Amino acid sequence: MSGRICRVVERAKRLGVLGPQLVASVLHVSLAEAEALLASMESAGLVERLRGAGGCPCSRCPLARVCPWSRSGSTQGAVLYRLTGKARRACRDP
């Protein structure tokens, strides 16, 4: 597994979810590069897109009431992903 992907996976393990902005920040890449990486991770079965009512994944999240991002109201059209077991296993320390 690529070191870039494992860096993203490790961050997502701590946060529970990830999105293009987080990936761009972790890897110091453009938003377009982050979106492309997430698309390839999704097609490889490493992440799955979260879908919520009205297109906002926060609507089904148990932490939405305390999450500052969710409470800010800027989640409309947000795209978030969560790790699959495949990603967790692939980036496990030996």
CB atoms within 10 A of CB 20: 21
For residue 90 the two structure tokens come to 């692939």
Question: Smallest Cα–Cα separation from 1: which of 81, 82, 92, 85?
Answer: 92
Task: Looking at the structure, give the CATH architecture of the domain made up of residues 3-90.
Answer: Orthogonal Bundle (1.10)
Could you read off the pLDDT tens digit of each residue along the chain, which spans 94 residues? 688 889 888 888 888 788 888 888 889 999 899 999 999 999 999 999 886 545 556 666 676 677 665 655 555 556 788 899 999 888 876 5
Residue partners of 20: CB distance under 8 A and separation at least 6: 31, 34, 35, 38, 79
Instruction: Look up the pTM and report it.
Output: 0.72
What is the domain partition of the chain in residue ranges?
A: 3-90
Contact assessment for residue 67 and residue 58, using Cβ atoms and an 8 Å cutoff? yes
